[in-house]
A and B are shown apart, each in its own frame.
Chain A
Amino acid sequence: MATTTPAPPRRRPRPVSSGRLTTASGIGLGVSMLWLSLIVLLPIASIVVVALQTGFGPFWESVTDAEALDTIKLSVGAAVLVTVINAVLGTLVAWVLVRDEFWGKRIVEVIIDIPFALPTIVAGLVLISLYGPQSPFGANLVGTRRGIFVALLFVTLPFVVRSVQPVLMEMESDVEEAAASLGASNLTTFRRIVLPTIAPAILAGSALAFARALGEFGSVILISANLIGKTEVSSAYMLKLIEQNDTTGAASVATLLLVVAVIVLVLLDSLQRLAARRD
């Protein structure tokens, strides 16, 4: 009688890359890189080039302008706040959608994607109808920062929900049941079992939501009322600079926002890796 059970079959390790690509992968990589360069890298590079074409002085002047700083603080602040709320509530919505059966669930599934599909200016009109002077709830948010916040929450809602949902669906509930049967409280189960698994998805969705909120224009522009120093967001400010033929100024502010976005995205990505490793 064997005393040792054979080790469970391990997944076959992936072939170690020899550094050489097959022709097919080579073409694939080439096409992807070319496509990425044309669609993403070139435009980004050109923004930075335009921002710095007249030297660092004008760039610095543009980004340290009091009005520019106000808009950047507002846009970044609102984006961060919206991201945090999305991370929490988006996860909750995904959780409810995956684990609970209720009447009208299919409808909710469709509704969640509407902010994605709606042209942003239409979203702006809808929001001003709901949270403007004719609001059925009596909440007039036109010309307030709360209005901007609501608009950003609206357009970024789907990101976390749609990132977390598939991961939750794949997670088998017997792990949770096992934890519960071993005496873990709901909170402990969530903290020790569920959260580590879905954390990377939450962070990935948050990153998307943050990026979207940072550059949002259409849905915000109507409800914000664009009051200088109070509710003027960066995207509106940049449009203003472009209208005034100050392309360099607009590109400078865009570059600064780009830097902020990259920092936040890298931060979220590192957190995501960290979370994935812990799992």
Chain B
Amino acid sequence: MNLLRGRGRTTAVLALLTASTIGLSACGSNTGTASSSGGGGGDDKTIDIVGFSVIKSAYDDLGEAFAKTPAGEGVTFKSSYGASGAQARAVVAGQAADLVAFSLEPDMTKVVEAGTVDAAWKDAGDTDGINSSSVVVIAVRKGNPKGIKGWADIAEPGVGIVTADPGTSGAAKWNLLGAYAQALGTDKDEAAAETYLKSFIGNVVSWNDSGRNATDTFLKGTGDVLISYENEAIAARAAGEELDYIVPDSTLLIENPGAVTKDAPEATSQFLEYIRSTEGQQILAKDGYRPIIDGVTPTDVEGANDPAAPFPTVKTLTTIADLGGWDEVDAKFFGDDGIVTKLRK
């Protein structure tokens, strides 16, 4: 191998290093279940969806329904679903995407920073960039043997909590924030909320890399409660899993953002509009997501505690905006000196 000798050496080394760096940044791109080649704007009638895993079945239904509308005529979909953070990294690394749907805003921020999605993505439509929503709930074993009624009960000694790990699963941040937000109460007592969070974290017996694995761990017998999302608890019950869930009086609103990428074909915006329409939200509600607009009356939601009235009103529903917005929340709770980071050590 004379490649690295003589005149060509510097060039060869540089080429090698460049290639390696590109290689590493592309590493994240194979995490989805499917991907397609070519740029986003190549075909006017094909929409590349890159989304977080749990939304898959709802988006499949949405795509099918959209294709039957005049705007969706002839539109086909290429979809890729996976862990939200990994999907965002894949798009940053160059995976073709027309519509991106993540489980939380920080993942959208990654693709905005990469220039794939316009910084004004929240301005499209009337929902502030949100496609679907849910609330943080407490899942318990069938029949609720420990008699758990709400947040206070699960921070008692002797209760084992299973949750996704906010370190590895961005979406799991909803869980910890849900626990914190309800403890803030109406008087916004941060010290009390931190004390609560401390007992809560002390009770966690299993931190899982994803929500799906947290559910599996719980179903295999670990812990007494699983912190989950209403839509996931509904989906699990609809799939015949043995669990009950409690919608607490006070909890956190989960908001899943969606956006159209800069070079997406025109049909993508229409599809996004459709997702946020009454019809689209009706389809999402069937899968357990709370409608993000008024005027949707979901019934027959299989898996819900009461399929006829699936989404009970939450007395105190905190939003991320109430907590100061994602930029602030991320640093305050999950940064190097964040509240959660410190409490877990």
Known: A46-B24, A222-B216. A133 touches B167 (CB 8 A): no
Q: Which residues of A contact B216 (CB under 8 A)?
A: 125, 128, 222
Contact stretch, chosen from B207-215, B227-235, B250-258, B306-314: B207-215
Task: Report whether over half of chain A's contact residues are helix, strand or loop; otherwise say mixed.
Answer: helix
Q: In the complex the two chains form, what is the Cα distance from A129 to B221 in whole Å?
A: 8
B168 near A125: Cβ-Cβ < 8 Å: no
Q: Which residues of B contact A42 (CB under 8 A)?
A: 16, 19-20, 23
Contact of A49 among B17, B169, B213, B344 (CB under 8 A): B17
Q: Which residues of A contact B170 (CB under 8 A)?
A: 243
* B85 CB–A CB distance under 8 Å: yes
B314-345 CB mask vs A (1 if < 8 Å, else 0) is 00000000000000000000100000000011
Task: Report whether over half of chain B's contact residues are helix, strand or loop; otherwise say mixed.
Answer: helix
* A134 CB–B CB distance under 8 Å: yes
Q: Which residues of A contact B345 (CB under 8 A)?
A: 67, 228-229
A43 near B165: Cβ-Cβ < 8 Å: no
A226 near B220: Cβ-Cβ < 8 Å: no
* A253 CB–B CB distance under 8 Å: no
A43 near B221: Cβ-Cβ < 8 Å: no
B164-179 CB mask vs A (1 if < 8 Å, else 0) is 0101111000000000
B21 near A49: Cβ-Cβ < 8 Å: yes
Nearest CB on B from A245, distance (A) = 8
Nearest CB on B from A142, distance (A) = 5
B17 near A45: Cβ-Cβ < 8 Å: yes
Contact of B222 among A142, A226, A239, A244 (CB under 8 A): A142
B165 near A50: Cβ-Cβ < 8 Å: no
List residues 137-165 of chain A with CB under 8 A from any CB of chain B. 142-143
A134 near B169: Cβ-Cβ < 8 Å: no
B220 near A244: Cβ-Cβ < 8 Å: no
Q: In the complex the two chains form, what is the Cα distance from A47 to B213 in whole Å?
A: 28
A10-49 CB mask vs B (1 if < 8 Å, else 0) is 0000000000000000000000010000000011011101
Q: In the complex the two chains form, what is the Cα distance from A3 to B27 in whole Å?
A: 72
Q: Which residue of B lies closest to A246 (CB)?
A: B336
Tally chain B residues at the interface, Cβ within 8 Å: 32
List residues 251-291 of chain B with CB under 8 A from any CB of chain A. none
Known: A128-B222, A134-B220, A143-B205. A49 touches B20 (CB 8 A): yes
Q: Which residues of B contact A132 (CB under 8 A)?
A: 217, 220-222
Q: Which residues of A contact B17 (CB under 8 A)?
A: 45, 49
Q: Which residues of A contact B213 (CB under 8 A)?
A: 121, 124, 221-222
* A261 CB–B CB distance under 8 Å: no
Q: In the complex the two chains form, what is the Cα distance from A67 to B213 in whole Å?
A: 23
A227 near B20: Cβ-Cβ < 8 Å: no
Known: A221-B209, A225-B207, A226-B208. A46 touches B23 (CB 8 A): yes
A129 near B209: Cβ-Cβ < 8 Å: no
A128 near B167: Cβ-Cβ < 8 Å: no
Most A-side CB within 10 Å, residue of B20, B21, B27, B205: B20
Q: Which residues of B contact A134 (CB under 8 A)?
A: 220-221
List residues 223-274 of chain A with CB under 8 A from any CB of chain B. 225-229, 236, 239-240, 242-245, 247, 251
Nearest CB on A from B4, distance (A) = 11
Known: A46-B21, A226-B206. A240 touches B167 (CB 8 A): yes
A49-90 CB mask vs B (1 if < 8 Å, else 0) is 110000000000000000100000000000000000000000
B168 near A239: Cβ-Cβ < 8 Å: yes
* B120 CB–A CB distance under 8 Å: no
Q: Which residues of B contact A229 (CB under 8 A)?
A: 345
Q: In the complex the two chains form, what is the Cα distance from A163 to B220 in whole Å?
A: 35
A226 near B23: Cβ-Cβ < 8 Å: no
Known: A142-B206, A240-B165. A129 touches B220 (CB 8 A): yes
Q: Which residues of B contact A236 (CB under 8 A)?
A: 168, 209
B205 near A244: Cβ-Cβ < 8 Å: no
Known: A236-B209, A244-B167. A47 touches B24 (CB 8 A): yes
B23 near A225: Cβ-Cβ < 8 Å: no
A46 near B20: Cβ-Cβ < 8 Å: yes
A227 near B207: Cβ-Cβ < 8 Å: yes
Q: Which residues of B contact A222 (CB under 8 A)?
A: 208, 213, 216-217
Q: Which residues of B contact A47 (CB under 8 A)?
A: 24
List residues 159-191 of chain B with CB under 8 A from any CB of chain A. 165, 167-170
A243 near B24: Cβ-Cβ < 8 Å: no
A–B Cβ pairs within 8 angstroms, 25 of them: A43-B27, A45-B16, A47-B24, A50-B21, A124-B213, A128-B222, A132-B217, A132-B220, A132-B222, A142-B205, A142-B206, A221-B208, A221-B209, A221-B213, A222-B208, A222-B216, A225-B205, A225-B206, A229-B345, A236-B168, A240-B167, A242-B89, A243-B168, A244-B334, A251-B24
Q: Please give the residue numbers on chain B whose beta carbons come within 8 Å of chain A beta carbons, in ascending order.
A: 1, 16-17, 19-21, 23-24, 27-28, 85, 89, 110, 165, 167-170, 205-209, 213, 216-217, 220-222, 334, 344-345
Give me 18 other A-B pairs in contact (C-beta within 8 A), A42-B16, A49-B24 excluded.
A50-B24, A67-B345, A124-B213, A125-B216, A132-B217, A132-B221, A133-B220, A134-B220, A225-B217, A226-B168, A227-B207, A228-B345, A239-B168, A240-B168, A243-B85, A244-B334, A247-B24, A251-B24
